[in-house]
Amino acid sequence: MRRILFTAFLLLAACAGATAQRSDYALKTDFEERARAIAARLDSASTTEAIDSAREDITKLESDFASHSEFLDKALYPLTFTESISRLRSLQVLTYDRVYLIRTQGVKLSELEARISALTARLDTLTAQRDQLFGELQESKKSLASLREAVRRLTANLSAKDRLIFAIVDSIFLPYGKDLHQVADVQKEAIAQRLQNANVVTRVYEIAADNVKFLDVTQLQGKDYAGLIDQYQAFAGRWAGLKEKMTDVAATSAVVAGEAGTAAHGGKPAKGKTPAHAAAESAATQAAHVDSVLDDWHRRLIAGFWGGLQKEFAQAGITVNEFHDGPSFAASVRACIASLSASKQDPQPFVENLWKQKIDRDWRDGLTREGMLGRAEYAALDRAVSELSRETIDGTFVAYIAGVLALIAGVWFFVFRKKKASPPPAPAE
């Protein structure tokens, strides 16, 4: 009987608890106060244990209020419930990172942030200068000297921006060492946040787009291309490395957030996309945009290069097959050499005026770059052209020798043979 009464009392107490009246305002302030308390604990945390404990509190807070998320989305305006939890998680990640860096690397987060901030400011200054330089480029199209100067300054500006953005990237990744696989998930999340805060992908995109615009509005000379090819290849290589790292940290962030969200929703996956998932997707989309503009950059650079080279042939009056890459260029030049050699035409305009004066002087640097023609293939073509020249020299030389020999024979015939024909007068006796 006592047991029955006790059970009934417990049931009543549970019902009373369930139907207890509660103020929405109290619910909101309760959430806010608990969130504030966690943030304060994180601010003052100096050990990873304290941060881990705060992390558990965040998960509990999320779990406790998940059923009121719809109400809190409105009541916490301008934040939503999810954003408030995300802010706490971000704070926890950054605090963990701060404590970890000070402990293991001796790098103060403030110094790192200051370095990134200074580099970002310099990059923004260069962006402002770039706009001015594009303006100058438009204005100076009439004068060749000022046009060349504007092109030179703009190239230097784009190159400096390129170096700066990857200096920012290096500053972000450097404290964690080279092997990203050994970096803890929570630090990868911190890296992802720092990349996002420094707006790295957008800036990389802008630089690539600037280069596309530059190629679009500029008339380049043969000798300009070597530097531009080097710049593109270095940029593409560094972007590939950065993209790989970004994919790694973005995937980790999404997994970390996914686990936290599942834990907060009692083992069930959270409805909709978490901010980390959204950020990972956004990073993937942005990366795809960078890839696309990089393809455009490469296409324009290559088209400009081979198109400019083809123009040199046309201007020199040499007809060659159309070419659009290293192998087709080599084939065209070899065909031209063979044609000149077979037709016994004077090869001087091709050898001297075009190859030596233009191609070897202005285009060689670009042509010898790997991915264009390459050093070995250029050397082979240069040898073939030189042989064509030697064949010409040898023919002339043979003709010259034959002429000289004919002259000597003529002289001998007329002088010595005449002497033999008229015998000396007989001495008078």
Partner 1 sequence: MICQRTLIIAALLCLSGCSVLMLEQVDFGWPVESVVTVSSSNTIEDVRYSVRTGVGPLAREEFQDSTALRGARLRLLRNSAGFYFLTGPRFKHVYVFAPGPSTLTLNRAIPVTETGLKDPALNQRPPYVELVDGDNFRRLLTSDDIVEVKK
Contacts to partner 1 by CB under 8 A: 16, 20-26, 28, 71, 74-75, 77
Min CB(274)–partner 1 separation in Å: 23
* CB of 28 or CB of 163, closer to partner 1: 28
Min CB(20)–partner 1 separation in Å: 5
* CB of 10 or CB of 102, closer to partner 1: 10
Rounded-to-5 percentages of helix, strand, coil across the chain:
85, 0, 15
How many Å apart are CA 211 and CA 299, to the nearest integer?
A: 12
Q: Tokens 């957030």 — which residue?
A: 257
How many Å apart are CA 414 and CA 416, to the nearest integer?
A: 6
* CB of 65 or CB of 225, closer to partner 1: 65
* CB of 23 or CB of 422, closer to partner 1: 23
* CB of 76 or CB of 220, closer to partner 1: 76
How many Å apart are CA 288 and CA 284, to the nearest integer?
A: 6
Contacts of 225 (CB under 8 A, 6+ apart): 301, 304, 305, 308, 363, 365, 366
Side-chain-facing half-sphere of 169: CA atoms under 13 Å? 22
Min CB(81)–partner 1 separation in Å: 12
* CB of 65 or CB of 313, closer to partner 1: 65
Min CB(77)–partner 1 separation in Å: 7
How many Å apart are CA 51 and CA 356, to the nearest integer?
A: 70
293-298-300-304 Cα dihedral, nearest 10 degrees: 160
Q: How many residues does the chain have?
A: 429
Answer yes or no: are the C-beta atoms of 82 and 271 closer than 8 Å. no
How many Å apart are CA 59 and CA 256, to the nearest integer?
A: 12
Q: How far is CA 177 from the centre of its chain?
A: 21
* CB of 13 or CB of 217, closer to partner 1: 13
Cis peptide before 269 (omega within 30 of 0): no
423 φ, ψ to 5°?
Answer: -65, 150
How many Å apart are CA 156 and CA 210, to the nearest integer?
A: 13
Min CB(70)–partner 1 separation in Å: 10
Q: How far is CA 2 from the centre of its chain?
A: 77
Tokens of 33: 């106060």
* CB of 22 or CB of 361, closer to partner 1: 22
Min CB(28)–partner 1 separation in Å: 5
Min CB(17)–partner 1 separation in Å: 9
Min CB(57)–partner 1 separation in Å: 24
* CB of 25 or CB of 427, closer to partner 1: 25
Min CB(26)–partner 1 separation in Å: 7
Residue (of 204, 208, 206, 207) closest to 295 by Cα position: 208
Cis peptide before 78 (omega within 30 of 0): yes
Residue (of 310, 124, 293, 312) closest to 214 by Cα position: 293
* CB of 72 or CB of 164, closer to partner 1: 72
Min CB(250)–partner 1 separation in Å: 34
Contacts of 59 (CB under 8 A, 6+ apart): 260, 263, 264
Min CB(178)–partner 1 separation in Å: 50
* CB of 27 or CB of 50, closer to partner 1: 27
